[in-house]
A and B are shown apart, each in its own frame.
Chain A
Amino acid sequence: MSVIHLLWSLGLVMVFPPLLLGVIHKTKAMLTGRIGAPVLQPYYDLWKLLQKGAVYSRTTSWVFRAGPLVSLAALLTAALFLPLSAPSTLLSFWGDAVLLAYLVGVARFITVLAALDTGSSFEGMGASREVTFASLAEPALLVALAVIAKVTGSLQLSDMFGPGLVLAWHEAGPALALAAASLFLVLLAENARIPVDDPTTHLELTMIHEVMVLDHGGPDFAFILYGSALKLFLFGVLLVRLLVPVHIGVLWLDLGVVVAGLLGLAVAIGVVESSMARLRLIRVPQLLVTSGVLAAVGLLLVWR
């Protein structure tokens, strides 16, 4: 891997994620007949938040301050394993698919701890919901990854999403389609998008992710916002690479395909958010179990 390749991939991981949020917001605005905020608005928000100072409650401890930092660090590390232009990735070893899933888990764990650390019952409620749903979304993610691992015969993300995947689509198309559908549902759930959680609401009874980060402000909140964009990017890249497993060999084109796919995905999420209502909280586990079942049937199909 050349230095230029490395710099471009790293640059894409660092700079691109907030744009996805901007595209989603713009899509939603256009579908509902509004002009909406500029596509670059998330960058302005991040810049504004980074200028501010942070206020910390006296009841919080170091856990509260560590939350956003550790969470962002875990997600950034996870992003380094992404198969942006597979078969070459920034970091790679046998079994990194499992590490990726658990780095996302670490990010969630520390966010939940920070939320509990505030001592607010409200944030505790959000933390409890987040963990409940995550306990259903995580198996779905792992089983979906297992489907891909099984058909490509590798537990390394660079191989799983590498040239072998094109062949695998011919051999086990239905199973991979099920894994993709499952991944899409997990993506919506993990990133607090609409059928599971409404990212724009501030109505206390319906919030899940948003409620955990209410007490964070300034740079901390910027880290959290950037982290959530990065998480969307993370799942988005996995889904796009699964659906469009092309490998041209030219760096520009490979990254271009991923970027185009991600923008398409952001528009798709925007359309889903505009056309659906948020599910009742009690129905969310059913959606996540469905996603797990989809992935499990996919695994059955390839494991026979």
Chain B
Amino acid sequence: MAQGVDLILVLAMLLNFLVLGSSRLRACIRAVAFQGVLLSILPLLLHQGGLAVHMVALSAGMLALKGFLFPWLLLRTLRDGSMRAEIEPLIGFTASLLVGAIATIVAFLLSSRLPSLPSMTSSLLVPAAMATLLISLVVLVSRTKALTQVLGYLMLENGIFLFGLTLVQSMPLLVELGVLLDLFAGVFIMGIVIYHISREFDHIDTYHLTTLKD
């Protein structure tokens, strides 16, 4: 069980690097979706003592939203918005990978300073959560397309979810469902907004949105 959890967390951390290193938007969307699918398995593995109904519901909801609905929405936006499926980052790919490595190291250092909770089942949980959070911030800052910003938010939520798992026994279902719902609404609205931006302006580069015009 612990082996499986560790494996999933390591895979999730590697997917962070895939998002940082890939130049294909499509591959990034799939990577974040796969990360969501992996994380949705975790509550079931981490929950000790029988399967509670609300944990199964949470996993199923997360799997459906992050694994299927969000990627489908984003891929549809990508297709309909007729945008270039390539990422043009402010920081180069090699540099982003190095920044990602540094972020992961920082995450491990930080989490070694934190007091460990007795309910924590895997020692990788907190470092993985922090690494995902930090790398999602890097993605948010260094990628200028509106779509990649959505991806950054999704990764951020994955990181927050991992943090929530440290308290998996007592995590209130309502809170997590609320977050998922917010996220769903957010991605849905952003999908529509991006679509309209690209209809209006021929591009979805947020870099150009910083200058005001009449």
Let me know if A294 is at the binding interface, CB within 8 A: yes
Check if A173 sits within 8 Å of B14, measured CB to CB. no
User: Residues of A within 8 Å of B, CB-based: how many?
Assistant: 15
- The interface stretch among A156-164, A202-210, A255-263, A282-290 is A282-290
Instruction: Tell me whether A301 and B105 are in contact in the complex, defined as CB-CB below 8 angstroms, given that A289-B97, A290-B21 are known contacts.
Output: no
Check if B98 sits within 8 Å of A289, measured CB to CB. yes
- The interface stretch among B3-11, B24-32, B157-165, B179-187 is B3-11
B-contact bits for A270-304, CB 8 A (1 contact / 0 none): 00000000000000011001101110110011001
- Please name all residues of chain B whose beta carbon is closer than 8 Å to the beta carbon of A301 when the two chains form the complex: 10, 124
Q: How far is the CA of A297 from the CA of B100 in the complex (A)?
A: 10
Let me know if B72 is at the binding interface, CB within 8 A: no
Q: How far is the CA of A264 from the CA of B127 in the complex (A)?
A: 36
Let me know if B70 is at the binding interface, CB within 8 A: no
- Please name all residues of chain B whose beta carbon is closer than 8 Å to the beta carbon of A293 when the two chains form the complex: 17, 97-98, 100-101
- Please name all residues of chain B whose beta carbon is closer than 8 Å to the beta carbon of A296 when the two chains form the complex: 101, 104-105
Let me know if B123 is at the binding interface, CB within 8 A: yes
Q: How far is the CA of A301 from the CA of B6 in the complex (A)?
A: 10
Check if A294 sits within 8 Å of B14, measured CB to CB. yes
- Please name all residues of chain A whose beta carbon is closer than 8 Å to the beta carbon of B13 when the two chains form the complex: 297
Instruction: Tell me whether A297 and B104 are in contact in the complex, defined as CB-CB below 8 angstroms, given that A178-B10, A290-B21, A304-B112 are known contacts.
Output: yes
B-contact bits for A171-185, CB 8 A (1 contact / 0 none): 001100010000000
- Please name all residues of chain A whose beta carbon is closer than 8 Å to the beta carbon of B104 when the two chains form the complex: 296-297, 300
Q: How far is the CA of A286 from the CA of B14 in the complex (A)?
A: 15
The one of A173, A174, A178, A297 that contacts B101, using a Cβ cutoff of 8 Å:
A297
Instruction: Tell me whether A286 and B101 are in contact in the complex, defined as CB-CB below 8 angstroms, given that A174-B7, A301-B124 are known contacts.
Output: no
- Please name all residues of chain A whose beta carbon is closer than 8 Å to the beta carbon of B14 when the two chains form the complex: 178, 294, 297
Q: How far is the CA of A197 from the CA of B67 in the complex (A)?
A: 36
Most B CB contacts (10 A, CB to CB) among A173, A290, A294, A296 go to: A290
A282 to B: closest C-beta gap in Å = 10
Q: How far is the CA of A158 from the CA of B10 in the complex (A)?
A: 28
Q: How far is the CA of A294 from the CA of B17 in the complex (A)?
A: 9
- Please name all residues of chain A whose beta carbon is closer than 8 Å to the beta carbon of B93 when the two chains form the complex: 286
The one of A174, A178, A292, A304 that contacts B108, using a Cβ cutoff of 8 Å:
A304
Q: How far is the CA of A301 from the CA of B100 in the complex (A)?
A: 15
Residue of B nearest to A285 (CB): B94
Residue of B nearest to A175 (CB): B10
Check if B7 sits within 8 Å of A290, measured CB to CB. no
Q: How far is the CA of A178 from the CA of B104 in the complex (A)?
A: 15
Residue of B nearest to A181 (CB): B14
B24 to A: closest C-beta gap in Å = 12
- Please name all residues of chain B whose beta carbon is closer than 8 Å to the beta carbon of A173 when the two chains form the complex: 3, 6-7
- Please name all residues of chain A whose beta carbon is closer than 8 Å to the beta carbon of B127 when the two chains form the complex: 300, 304
B91 to A: closest C-beta gap in Å = 13
- Interface set, chain B 1-55, CB cutoff 8 A to A: 3, 6-7, 10, 13-14, 17, 21
- Please name all residues of chain A whose beta carbon is closer than 8 Å to the beta carbon of B3 when the two chains form the complex: 173
Residue of A nearest to B18 (CB): A290
Q: How far is the CA of A294 from the CA of B14 in the complex (A)?
A: 8
A235 to B: closest C-beta gap in Å = 22
- Please name all residues of chain A whose beta carbon is closer than 8 Å to the beta carbon of B17 when the two chains form the complex: 290, 293-294, 297
Q: How far is the CA of A178 from the CA of B11 in the complex (A)?
A: 10
- Please name all residues of chain B whose beta carbon is closer than 8 Å to the beta carbon of A289 when the two chains form the complex: 94, 97-98
A-contact bits for B108-130, CB 8 A (1 contact / 0 none): 10001000000000011001000
Residue of B nearest to A172 (CB): B6
Q: Taking A293-B17, A304-B127 as given, write out 7 further A-B residue pairs in contact, using a Cβ cutoff of 8 Å, ordered by the A residue number.
A: A289-B94, A290-B21, A292-B101, A296-B105, A297-B14, A304-B108, A304-B123
Give 8 CB contacts A-B under 8 Å: A286-B21, A286-B93, A289-B94, A296-B101, A296-B105, A297-B104, A300-B104, A300-B108
The 3 A-B pairs at the shortest CB distance, nearest first, are namely A174-B10, A293-B101, A286-B94
